[in-house]
């Protein structure tokens, strides 16, 4: 097993897990996505021995589902997988607003692929065959960083956090939105908005009557400033207009600024 991974390090049998004594007192949860059996088994065995809670998926479609539907602290993601490849999984998770740390394992060491993968939302990558000791160190580093940004993000991030507001309720026209309860008065009564709808409205209400570009929305709501696909933004706008506009062709509040983005008129 160890030989398949090209490692010879002592991973410290009997050593305490990395979370031993932590205030949360819970193991970090790691999803391993890898279809090569020897590597998969080696990863699962060694990560569990380090004290992590580990699950394995061996096909891309199943992995995407598992990654979406359960909370993970880290995903170790192979690139070449059956059904859906690792880069697509990574990209799709980010579009869905899931920002779990991702360590990509790639057999393709061409710079183009790596750059492409990282741009699509991976946090780190390792080229196969990798050294297990180095992988475990990077896993630990990514988990530490994820924990740090969880506890520090509200101050340091420019991302629109719809729940972070001193001014909970914003009124416009016949409508209102409450950023604390996620509820809004819409054309069809009081409903609960999605996190993305709420975050887009948050950006709008911070910049009334000003042009808000799609790029700004991608950056602040999706944290994907360079994503080429602005359809995710358009979809949320369509949903918001359904809630707050009599006519999407002649909007009163959410105006389109052709080729650029939107202007919110309260």
Residues lying near Ca ion in the complex (CB under 5 A) are found at 35, 78, 80
Closer Cβ to Ca ion, 80 or 230, answer by number: 80
Closer Cβ to Ca ion, 11 or 80, answer by number: 80
Q: How far is the CB of 105 from Ca ion (least distance, A)?
A: 8
Q: How far is the CB of 64 from Ca ion (least distance, A)?
A: 15
Closer Cβ to Ca ion, 33 or 139, answer by number: 33
Closer Cβ to Ca ion, 79 or 217, answer by number: 79
CA distances from 134 to 130, 210, 214 (A): 8, 48, 39
Instruction: Tell me the residue number closest to Ca ion, measured at CB.
Output: 80
Q: How far is the CB of 119 from Ca ion (least distance, A)?
A: 21
Q: How far is the CB of 80 from Ca ion (least distance, A)?
A: 4
Q: What is the number of other CB atoms lying within 10 angstroms of the CB of residue 67?
A: 22
Closer Cβ to Ca ion, 78 or 216, answer by number: 78
Query: SS in 3 state form for the chain?
Result: CCHHHCCCCCCCCCCCCCCCCCCCCCCCEEEEECCCHHHHHHHHHHHHHCCCEEEEECCHHHHHHHHHHCCCCEEEEECCCCCCCHHHHHHHHHHCCCCCEEEEEECCCCHHHHHHHHHCCCCEEEECCCCHHHHHHHHHHHHHHHHHHHHHHHHHCCCCCCCCCCCCEEEECCEEEECCCCEEEECCEEEECCHHHHHHHHHHHHCCCCEEEHHHHHHHHHCCCCCCCCHHHHHHHHHHHHHHCCCCCCCCCEEEECCCEEEECC
Closer Cβ to Ca ion, 39 or 224, answer by number: 39
Q: How far is the CB of 174 from Ca ion (least distance, A)?
A: 55
Q: How far is the CB of 82 from Ca ion (least distance, A)?
A: 8
Q: How far is the CB of 36 from Ca ion (least distance, A)?
A: 5
Closer Cβ to Ca ion, 35 or 161, answer by number: 35
């Amino acid at each position: 097993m160890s030989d398949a991974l090209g490692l010879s390090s002592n991973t410290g049998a009997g050593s305490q897990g990395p979370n031993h004594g932590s205030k949360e007192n819970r193991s970090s949860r790691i999803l391993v996505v890898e279809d090569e059996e020897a590597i998969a088994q080696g990863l699962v065995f060694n990560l569990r021995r380090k004290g992590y809670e580990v699950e394995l998926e061996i096909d891309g479609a199943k992995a995407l589902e598992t990654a979406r539907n359960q909370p993970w602290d880290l995903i170790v993601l192979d690139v070449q997988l059956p059904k859906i490849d690792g880069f697509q999984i990574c990209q799709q998770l980010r579009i869905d607003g899931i920002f779990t740390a991702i360590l990509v394992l790639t057999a393709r060491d061409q710079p183009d692929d790596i750059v492409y993968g990282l741009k699509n939302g991976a946090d780190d990558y390792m080229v196969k065959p990798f050294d297990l000791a180095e992988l475990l160190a990077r896993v630990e580093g990514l988990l530490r960083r994820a924990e740090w940004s969880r506890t520090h993000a509200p101050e340091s991030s420019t991302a629109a956090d719809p729940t972070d507001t001193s001014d909970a309720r914003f009124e416009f026209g016949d409508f209102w939105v409450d950023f604390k309860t996620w509820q809004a008065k819409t054309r069809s009564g009081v409903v609960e908005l999605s996190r993305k709808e709420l975050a887009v409205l948050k950006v709008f209400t911070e910049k009334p009557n000003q042009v808000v570009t799609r790029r700004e929305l991608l950056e602040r709501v999706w944290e994907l400033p360079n994503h080429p696909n602005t359809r995710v933004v358009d979809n949320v706008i369509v949903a918001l207009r359904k809630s707050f506009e009599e006519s999407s062709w002649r909007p009163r509040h959410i105006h389109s600024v052709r080729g650029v983005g939107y202007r919110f008129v309260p």
